[in-house]
């Protein structure tokens, strides 16, 4: 089948869906998701979306400075300024698309606070189901846009390039059966995070770094991959064998929960004046240290001083999940430990979402806009999806008519055979957890990088036309980029902590 569109968007989380809706309806858009649209990190987002709605210049300025401070000033200040400046418009746009944020009885937005923020500036939806409501709401809007075709169960395998190294679409595998090219004047990567590179993650397990892998193979610049954010408070359950960990939102600490170690001692005052409201890198590293000192693999979140009925209303998703595990918020201690959560680096883009490769854009978590620096400020990610998604759409709307329609290509034939890539995925996760986690050493990183180079060579030599092969390849390439960049940065900064 000859599929040709003006715009191909790979990924249907918040960034991909929002960008699709912002493309001028006179252009055709193909939006693909490798599973159903209900599988994305956007759907899992709990805390909310950061936006300074006050016009007070001090407060506006503080969102800018809080972001730089959390990122250890390794952020691109221009990108941070762009993010903060466009936050009010982003919220207005989401509201105009039907997204409802929680309000009080006087119809004022209910705002919460998370680590690293100087003010309460985080809007939320459905209590702790912000990402679900925002993404589901936008996805329903697609039906009203006949120019957008949504293809679920469709995985992009590789970007297609012409002789001048311009991107002209992607090869895809539809429902594990149809191997086809999708041609497009411009292609946007919106493939989200990298959680499955690690053995334990808060991410949807479909987050295998595909956009970063594809962009890397196409020659795009990839930046800041050493800055992997570990969320301090994923639910710890000794009996759990599943790799995905349930997140206990930072907003819970914003509402007064605090951390205690296994000896029931509060400890954050040893590490940061903002205590539990310190930026995530600091809190995760503090928990790591406490676990080391007490020779355990978790600490506790204490909510016993908070009203259980308030907690149930404010955090219904978390409350019900914990109850299913026989943990009662407001009564029991909640065991937590850090695990992989977010990649601050990614495919390098400018303020318009353009990568270093012609006709290739990237938005959302897979892109590196420079907003997050060495550590992301909580709840800036959903905002980044919308602000930079809009910027990329604006740029495409202005330039698309000058881009020629690419000629259809015939895909090279590939072998297809049954092979179990699970042990390989486990090996990558085990090495990355041990050697590229919260605390890193030169020896551990080198050992892992060498191991990954061996895996990469063997995968290159044995191509296989399956989703699992391409995911394995992208995991290897993403993990390699993390270790390679982590070896290059010898100092400790933000969420990259080197002891030698
Ligand atoms: C548990 C959790 C809680 C969070 N809470 C918050 C929060 O409160 N506030 C905040 O700002 N951020 C939060 N984050 C981070 C935030 O949710 C993500 O960074 C953001 O949603 C990423 O959006 P995205 O659109 O870039 O990617 P995603 O939402 O992950 O979407 C990726 C899409 O790409 C598709 N895809 C991937 N590879 C391919 C491929 N090869 N071919 C086709 N499709 C592909 C997937 O199927 C999916 O549709 C949270 C993250 C997690 C995991």
pLDDT digit string (tens) for the chain, length 500 residues: 779 999 999 999 999 999 999 999 999 999 999 999 999 999 999 989 999 998 899 999 999 999 999 999 999 999 999 999 999 999 999 999 999 999 999 999 999 998 999 999 999 999 999 999 999 999 999 999 999 999 999 999 999 999 999 999 999 999 999 999 999 999 999 999 999 999 999 999 999 999 999 999 999 999 999 999 999 999 999 888 889 999 999 989 999 999 999 999 999 999 999 999 999 999 999 999 999 999 999 999 999 999 999 999 999 999 999 999 999 999 999 999 999 999 999 999 999 999 999 999 999 999 999 999 999 999 999 999 999 999 999 999 999 999 999 999 999 999 999 999 999 999 999 999 999 999 999 999 999 999 999 999 999 999 999 999 999 999 999 999 999 999 999 999 999 999 99
191 lines ligand 1 (CB under 6 A): yes
- Marked catalytic residue, from 280, 376, 425, 440: 280
432 and 337 in one domain?
no
Last residue within a domain, chosen from 302, 324, 341: 341
Is position 289 within any domain?
yes
Is position 297 within any domain?
yes
138 lines ligand 1 (CB under 6 A): no
Residue nearest to atom 10 of ligand 1 (CA): 379
Tell me what pLDDT residue 431 has. 98
336 and 246 in one domain?
yes
Tell me what pLDDT residue 383 has. 98
Domain range spanning residue 450?
422-488
Going 270 to 272 to 277 to 283, the CA torsion angle's sign is negative
- Give buried/exposed letters for 198-211 (b at 16+ CB in 10 A, else e): bbbbbbbebbbbbb
Residue nearest to atom 9 of ligand 1 (CA): 379
34 lines ligand 1 (CB under 6 A): yes
Report which of 25, 12, 8, 18 is spatially closest to residue 384, judged by C-alpha positions.
Answer: 18
Residue nearest to atom 8 of ligand 1 (CA): 47
Residue nearest to atom 5 of ligand 1 (CA): 45
Tell me what pLDDT residue 240 has. 85
**Residue 34 C-alpha to ligand 1 middle, in angstroms?**
13
pTM of the model as a whole: 0.97
What's the N-to-C CA distance of the chain in angstroms? 54
Tell me the two tokens of residue 291. 């676990």
Domain of 471, CATH number, reads: 1.20.58.100
Report which of 371, 363, 365, 370 is spatially closest to residue 390, judged by C-alpha positions.
Answer: 363
**Residue 135 C-alpha to ligand 1 middle, in angstroms?**
10
Is position 5 within any domain?
no
Looking at ligand 1, which atom is closest to the CA of residue 474? 41
Looking at ligand 1, which atom is closest to the CA of residue 35? 47
What is the pairing mode between strands 360-362 and 228-235?
unpaired
Last residue within a domain, chosen from 341, 366, 384: 341
Is position 258 within any domain?
yes
**Residue 49 C-alpha to ligand 1 middle, in angstroms?**
14
**Residue 303 C-alpha to ligand 1 middle, in angstroms?**
28
336 and 239 in one domain?
yes
Question: Three-class SS string for the chain?
Answer: CCEEEEEEEECCCHHHHHHHHHCCCCCCEEEECCCCCCCCHHHHCCCCEECCCCCCHHHHHHHHHHHHHHCCCCCCHHHHHHHHHCHHHHHHHHHHCCCCCCECCCCCECEECCCCCCCCCEECCCCCCHHHHHHHHHHHHHHHCCCEEEECCEEEEEEEECCCCCEEEEEEEECCCEEEEEEEEEEEECCCCCHHHCCCECCCCCCCCHHHHHHHHCCCCEECCCCEEEEEEEECCCCCCCCECCECCCHHHHCCCEEECCCCCECHHHCCCCHHHCCHHHHHHHHHHHHHHHCCCCEEEECCCCCHHHHHHHCHHHHHHHHHCCCCCCCCCEEEEEEEEEECCEEECCCCCECCCCCEEECHHHEECCCCCCCCCCCHHHHHHHHHHHHHHHHHHHHHHHCCCCCCCCCCCCCCCCCCCHHHHHHHHHHHHHHCCCCECHHHHHHHHHHHHHHHHHHHHCCCCCHHHHHHHHHHHHHHHHHHHHHHCCCCECCECECC
171 lines ligand 1 (CB under 6 A): no
- Spatial neighbors of 196 by CB under 8 A, at least 6 apart, are 203, 205, 206, 207, 208, 209, 243, 425, 429, 471, 475
Going 328 to 329 to 333 to 336, the CA torsion angle's sign is positive
Domain of 274, CATH number, reads: 3.90.700.10
Is position 63 within any domain?
no
Is position 440 within any domain?
yes
47 lines ligand 1 (CB under 6 A): yes
Alpha-carbon gap, residue 185 to 22, rounded angstroms: 17
Annotation says 280 is catalytic = yes
44 lines ligand 1 (CB under 6 A): yes
Give the residue, out of 8, 9, 11, 216, with the most ligand 1 atoms within 8 A of its beta carbon, to mutate for a pocket test.
11
CA angle 377, 121, 128 (to 5 degrees): 80
Number of domains in the chain: 2
Per the CB < 8 A criterion, the answer to whether 255 and 306 are in contact is yes
Tell me the two tokens of residue 379. 């709840």
Give the residue, out of 36, 176, 193, with the most ligand 1 atoms within 8 A of its beta carbon, to mutate for a pocket test.
193
Is position 66 within any domain?
no
Last residue within a domain, chosen from 289, 321, 341: 341
190 lines ligand 1 (CB under 6 A): yes
**Residue 193 C-alpha to ligand 1 middle, in angstroms?**
6
14 lines ligand 1 (CB under 6 A): yes
Is position 250 within any domain?
yes
428 and 331 in one domain?
no
Tell me what pLDDT residue 54 has. 87
Looking at ligand 1, which atom is closest to the CA of residue 42? 21
80 lines ligand 1 (CB under 6 A): no
17 lines ligand 1 (CB under 6 A): no
């Amino acid at each position: 089948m000859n599929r040709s569109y003006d715009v191909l968007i790979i990924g249907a989380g918040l960034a991909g869906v929002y960008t699709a809706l912002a493309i001028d309806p006179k252009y055709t858009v193909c939006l693909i998701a490798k599973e159903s649209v209900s599988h994305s990190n956007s759907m899992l987002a709990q805390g909310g979306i950061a936006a300074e709605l006050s016009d007070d210049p001090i407060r506006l300025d503080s969102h800018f400075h809080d972001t730089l401070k959390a990122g250890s000033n390794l952020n691109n200040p221009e990108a941070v300024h762009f993010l903060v400046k466009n936050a009010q418009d982003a919220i207005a746009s989401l509201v105009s698309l039907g997204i409802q944020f929680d309000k009080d009885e006087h119809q004022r937005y209910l705002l919460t606070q998370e680590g690293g923020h100087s003010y309460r500036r985080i809007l939320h939806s459905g209590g702790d189901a912000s990402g679900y409501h925002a993404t589901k709401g936008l996805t329903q809007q697609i039906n009203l846009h006949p120019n957008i075709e949504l293809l679920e169960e469709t995985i992009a395998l590789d970007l297609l390039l012409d002789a001048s190294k311009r991107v002209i679409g992607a090869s895809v595998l539809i429902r594990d059966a149809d191997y086809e090219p999708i041609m497009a004047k411009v292609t946007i990567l919106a493939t989200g995070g990298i959680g499955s590179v690690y053995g334990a993650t808060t991410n949807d397990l479909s987050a295998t770094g595909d956009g970063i892998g594809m962009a890397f193979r196409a020659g795009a610049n990839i930046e800041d991959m050493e800055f992997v954010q570990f969320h301090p408070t994923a639910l710890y359950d000794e009996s759990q064998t599943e790799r995905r960990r349930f997140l206990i939102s930072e907003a819970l600490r914003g509402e007064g929960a605090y951390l205690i170690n296994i000896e029931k001692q509060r400890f954050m005052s040893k590490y940061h004046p903002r205590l539990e409201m310190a930026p995530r890198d600091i809190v995760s590293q503090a928990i790591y240290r406490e676990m080391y000192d007490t020779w355990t693999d978790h600490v506790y979140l204490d909510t016993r001083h908070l009203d259980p009925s308030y907690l149930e209303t404010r955090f219904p998703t978390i409350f019900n999940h914990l109850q299913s595990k026989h943990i009662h918020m407001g009564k029991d201690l909640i065991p937590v430990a850090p695990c992989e959560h977010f990649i601050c680096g990614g495919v390098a883009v400018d303020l318009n979402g353009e990568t270093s490769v012609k006709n290739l854009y990237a938005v959302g978590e897979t892109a590196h806009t420079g907003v997050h620096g060495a550590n992301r400020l909580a709840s800036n990610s959903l905002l980044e999806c919308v602000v930079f998604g809009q910027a990329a759409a604006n740029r495409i709307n202005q330039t698309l008519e000058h881009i020629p329609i690419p000629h259809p290509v015939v895909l090279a034939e590939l072998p297809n055979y049954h092979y179990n890539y699970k042990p390989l995925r486990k090996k990558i996760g085990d090495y990355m957890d041990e050697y590229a986690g919260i605390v890193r050493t030169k020896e551990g990183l080198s050992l892992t990088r060498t191991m990954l180079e061996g895996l990469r060579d063997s995968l290159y030599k044995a191509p296989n036309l399956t989703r699992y092969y391409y995911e394995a390849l992208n995991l290897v390439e993403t993990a390699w980029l993390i270790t390679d960049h982590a070896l290059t940065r010898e100092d400790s900064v933000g969420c990259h902590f080197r002891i030698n």
